[in-house]
Structures are given as C-alpha cells and as structure tokens.
Amino acid sequence: MELIYRLMDAVLPFEFLRYSFMKNALIAMLLLTPLLSLLGTMAVNQRMAFFSDALGHSALAGVGIGMLLGVENITLSLVVFGVLFALLVSTVNRSGAATKDTTISVFSSMGIALGLLLLSRGGKFSSYSSLLTGDILSIGQSDLLWLLVGLIAGVAIWVVLYNLLLVSAVSPELAESRGIRTRWLEYAFAVVVAVAVMLSIRWVGVLLINALLILPAAAARNISRSAAQHALWSVLFGLVSGIAGLVISYAMNTGVGAAVVLCAGLIYFITLLIRRFTAN
C-alpha cells in the first residue's frame, strides 16, 4: 500500500489526500461505486429498486439476530441473513400472493423493526447507530482487498447475468422459450445483490445504500441508447458522485455518504433535463 500511497501523492497532490484514511476512502470509492453502479443497472432493468432498499433495511435485523446467536463477526451475520432474506422475498414474490411492491414493503418494514427491537435491548442501539449512515473513513487496508475481490467478482457476474436478466425483464415467456430458467436467474440475482449490499453496508449505511445502488443506474438510463452505454454511464456517474461527495464532505466537514448521495441525485436530475430537451 505504501507504493500506492506514494503514487497518489505524486499524481494527486491535493490537501485532503495528505491523510492515510482519506487515501483509503478514495480507493474504496474507486472500488465500491463501480460495483454498485453495475449491479444497479440490473436492478433498474428488473424494476427492483425497492428490493435493494428492503435488503438495506434488513441489515439491522441481520446484526440483531447475529448478536442474539452470539456471532461476533458482523459481516458474516449480515451476509448470511441478507442471502436468506433475499431468497425468502424472491420466493414470496414468485408465489403471486401479493404484488411485488407490497411484498417488498412488508419485508422491509418487518426487517428494520426486528433489527431495532433486537439492537435496542438494554439501550445498546447507540453502539450500532453507525450502520445507519456508514463510515467509509474508517475503512482499513484489509477491507480494500476484499472490495477489490468483490469488484472483480461483481464484474464477472454482471457479464454473465446482464443479458439473461435483460431478456427475462423484457419478456419472461421469451426467456423461458430460449431455455433461460427465470426462477433460478431471479434467485441468483437476488443473492448477488444481497451479498453486495451487505458487504457495503458498514461503509455506506442502511439509509444510503439503495441510493448509491440505484441513482447512478437510473441517471444513466435517462441518456443511454444501448446496454453498453447504460453500463458505462452508470459506472462514470457512480465514480463522479463518489469522488465529488468525498471532496465536498472533507471541505464542509460533513458525512461522506450523504454528500455522495446528493451528488448522485443532482446528476440524476441533470440527466432527466437532458432527456427531456433531447426528446423534443
């Protein structure tokens, strides 16, 4: 890492990068935002924006259940519970017992309520309040390695699943006729998103994870003419939001996650205006 730090000092001689924790945060943004942006393109195409939001809210329940069972590794609790939660939501959705938005809303509400119930016992919720907004400035070098592995794995999975999910979203009947098992495809997508969300939640936060996953992809869709453009613009918007938010939060001494989300939201409204004017 020392070599990377020296390279950053030579190429990026900015004041906020004098500190190692800011260097780590910038590297984390460069790894995390492309991963979430790519997965976001699939979530937007699948009309599952609220699904990732429900996953984020369920993170508190995952931590609470892990604490109840005596599991000390918070990340393990998050990932295991997130995968089970995602599979359960997908199964109920496929049963057709209720509309997707209703099912997701119910699970989202129950997830955050269960988490608050378990974590607030004995007035201990303040110990876990950082999960709500995240703290990317606390990220360590070992965490960066895991983010790099996650980015590589996420890109590989995106390459394999994107076209299949796109066909499934446009026409499930066409997908089935071409031998695409839409049920297992939906489960696979749910698991991938669950793992990505739960691994990111400690640094992004429960309240902000869905925005970082959806906003860059939604903004990219406003101006894209093809699937390739959608992916490229989404990654670019995610990177710009992450870097700009980090710089703004340092200059204004505010929370990083909130600044990043506001930057992503601003980009979304700009692309919305571009779409409107180019359509006329």
CB neighbourhood size of 174 (10 A): 11
Predicted confidence at residue 280, as pLDDT, reads 62
For the range 220-229, what are the long-range contacts, defined as Cβ-Cβ under 8 Å and sequence gap of 24 or more?
A: 220/37, 220/41, 220/271, 221/41, 221/44, 222/268, 222/271, 222/272, 222/274, 222/275, 223/271, 223/274, 223/275, 223/278, 227/162, 227/163, 227/166
Name every residue whose Cβ is closer than 8 Å to that of residue 189 and which is 6 or more positions away in sequence: 42, 46, 161, 165
pLDDT over 80 (residue 129): no
For 178-225, the pLDDT digits (tens) are 777 777 888 888 888 888 888 888 777 777 787 888 899 999 999 998
For 231-260, the pLDDT digits (tens) are 999 999 999 999 999 999 988 988 888 899
Predicted confidence at residue 88, as pLDDT, reads 87
Q: Which fold has domain 2-275?
A: ABC transporter involved in vitamin B12 uptake, BtuC (1.10.3470)
Nearest 10 degrees: Cα torsion 16, 139, 58, 104: 50
Q: Which of 130 and 265 is assigned the larger pLDDT?
A: 265
Predicted confidence at residue 271, as pLDDT, reads 95
Mean pLDDT of 119-142: 75
pLDDT over 90 (residue 161): no
Predicted confidence at residue 48, as pLDDT, reads 73
Q: Which of 27 and 163 is assigned the larger pLDDT?
A: 27
Mean pLDDT of 139-151: 84
* Residue 269: pLDDT band with limits 50, 70, 90: very high
Predicted confidence at residue 265, as pLDDT, reads 93
**Among 45-49, 75-79, 125-129, 252-256, which stretch is predicted with the lowest mean pLDDT?**
125-129
Q: How far is C-alpha 184 from the geometric centre of its chain's CA atoms?
A: 22
- Residue 45 · residue 158 · CB < 8 Å: no
Predicted confidence at residue 235, as pLDDT, reads 94
pLDDT over 70 (residue 69): yes
Give the residue carrying structure tokens 């692309």. 271
Where do the H-state alpha helices sit in the chain?
A: 2-11, 20-45, 49-68, 74-95, 100-119, 130-133, 141-170, 172-177, 182-204, 209-223, 227-252, 256-279
Predicted confidence at residue 99, as pLDDT, reads 74
Q: What is the mean pLDDT of the chain?
A: 83
State the DSSP string of 162-209: HHHHHHHHH-HHHHHHTT--HHHHHHHHHHHHHHHHHHHHHHH-TTTH
Q: How far is Cα 46 from Cα 54, in angstroms, rounded to an integer?
A: 15
Predicted confidence at residue 142, as pLDDT, reads 80
CB neighbourhood size of 161 (10 A): 17
Predicted confidence at residue 218, as pLDDT, reads 92
* Residue 130: pLDDT band with limits 50, 70, 90: confident
pLDDT over 90 (residue 173): no
The two three-digit tokens of residue 96, written as one number: 């057709």
